[in-house]
Chain A
Amino acid sequence: MSEPESIETCGLRCFGAISASLSHELKNALAIINEHAGLLEDMMLMAGTGRPLDPDRLKLLAGNVMKQVQRADTMIKHMNQFAHSVDVTIACSDLEDALTLAIALNSRTAVMKGGTLVLEPSATPVRITTCPFWVQTLIWRSLNELLERAGADRQLHLCARKTSDGAAIIFSPVDHMLTNIHIPDVLNHLKATQALDIQTRELWIILPADITMNRTD
């Protein structure tokens, strides 16, 4: 087995991979807008030669363009939210919100690997004080490993849950052969631990309620 990568490398790779994936999706939205604009131009040219315009078709094309603009806008909001996750080293935030963002950021990667990501709503709000960027890195890295093992057409469920002394991110169902996610530096940085329940096929990443408590670094 290869050496675990350093936390700096892992963080940079996460930032790069997510930026590349989102930029690819943005390119697709732009390409669709480009083709629709081109088709409208073609239709206008044909109208100039006497071919009548179909108002219903024009309405449909305009609607498609608006949907792609909304899609691109949503992607940019997610990209912006992710970019700002490095603004503060530590923050108190809702873990389910972090999972929602992670699913938005990683959904295309999941589809490319033949899987889908599903958020399981938590019964109660799960607020923790932690490092927002490193939580995203942890989820990204975990998803990469879990999706590689998940195979095609598999749904991977993500859930935030309160524990007696903190919170957990739960991934399920995980491959029954899984032993660990190999990210010791990120786990250490977040003061997190991982636990695998073979029976339920759940991987728990357990985070402290407040990372600043008894923080040594």
Chain B
Amino acid sequence: MRVLLVDDEEQLVSTLAERLELRGIHAGWATGGEEALERVKSETFDLAVLDVKMPKISGIELKKRLQVLCPAMKFIFLTGHGSEEDFTAGAAEAGSDFYLIKPVKIEALLEKMNEVMRHPGKSI
């Protein structure tokens, strides 16, 4: 599995990527939407884990733009808020099953990643 992590907190995505690599998952990371869009031009990812609230390009908007470039890509949303507004937006985009609230346990993230890859039809 190849996963792209996108969050404007660099220490968060770089450390999470390292932990996923230790578990045999190829993980790339980007700290913003523009960087992520650039990265998918030269690398292939099966799945993207996106922060909902990011500067310039939100996670919701980024998903739409990534889907154009990578139609087969699956998505999981991460958020720090856990607010009703974020849940509604994230769940509408990825399904309520694929929406996680920070801080997230890596086991929970791995479970969601495996689930979204096993049941691609559940993710838009």
Q: Please report A residues at the B interface, Cβ cutoff 8 Å.
A: 20, 23-25, 27-28, 30-36, 38-39, 42, 46, 64, 68, 111-114, 152
Taking a contact as CB atoms under 8 Å apart, the answer to whether A35 and B16 are in contact is: yes
For residue A152, which residue of chain B has the nearest CB? B56
B80 proximity list for chain A (CB < 8 A)? 23-25, 27-28, 31
CA distance A38 to B11 in the complex (A): 13
Grouping DSSP codes into helix (H, G, I), strand (E, B) and loop, the A interface class, with mixed when no group exceeds half, is helix
CA distance A31 to B81 in the complex (A): 12
How big is the B interface, by class? 20 to 34
CA distance A110 to B102 in the complex (A): 22
CB distance from A27 to the nearest CB of B (A): 3
For residue B14, which residue of chain A has the nearest CB? A35
Taking a contact as CB atoms under 8 Å apart, the answer to whether A38 and B81 are in contact is: no
CA distance A60 to B55 in the complex (A): 27
CB distance from A57 to the nearest CB of B (A): 10
Taking a contact as CB atoms under 8 Å apart, the answer to whether A42 and B55 are in contact is: no
Taking a contact as CB atoms under 8 Å apart, the answer to whether B19 and A39 are in contact is: yes
A27 proximity list for chain B (CB < 8 A)? 80-82, 102-103
CB within 8 Å of A: which B42-88 residues: 53-56, 80-83
A28 proximity list for chain B (CB < 8 A)? 9, 12, 80, 102
List 5 A-B residue pairs with CB atoms under 8 Å apart, sorted by A's residue number.
Answer: A32-B9, A32-B11, A32-B12, A35-B11, A42-B19
Q: Contacts A23-B81, A42-B19, A42-B22 hold; do A31 and B12 have CB atoms under 8 A apart?
A: yes
Taking a contact as CB atoms under 8 Å apart, the answer to whether A20 and B12 are in contact is: no
Which of B11, B18, B102 gathers the greatest number of chain A CB atoms within 10 Å?
Answer: B11
CA distance A176 to B19 in the complex (A): 49
CB distance from A112 to the nearest CB of B (A): 5
B15 close to chain A: CB less than 8 A: yes
B102 proximity list for chain A (CB < 8 A)? 27-28, 30-31, 34
With beta carbons under 8 angstroms apart, the residue of A23, A35, A111 that contacts B15 is A35
In the A-B complex, the 10 residue pairs with the smallest Cβ-Cβ separation, listed nearest first, are A27-B80, A34-B103, A35-B15, A31-B102, A31-B103, A24-B80, A32-B11, A32-B12, A28-B9, A27-B102
Taking a contact as CB atoms under 8 Å apart, the answer to whether B81 and A112 are in contact is: no
Q: Contacts A20-B81, A27-B102, A31-B80 hold; do A114 and B56 have CB atoms under 8 A apart?
A: yes
A114 proximity list for chain B (CB < 8 A)? 55-56
With beta carbons under 8 angstroms apart, the residue of B9, B18, B53, B55 that contacts A31 is B9
Taking a contact as CB atoms under 8 Å apart, the answer to whether B83 and A32 are in contact is: no
B104 close to chain A: CB less than 8 A: yes
CA distance A151 to B18 in the complex (A): 35
CA distance A173 to B103 in the complex (A): 38
B19 proximity list for chain A (CB < 8 A)? 35, 38-39, 42
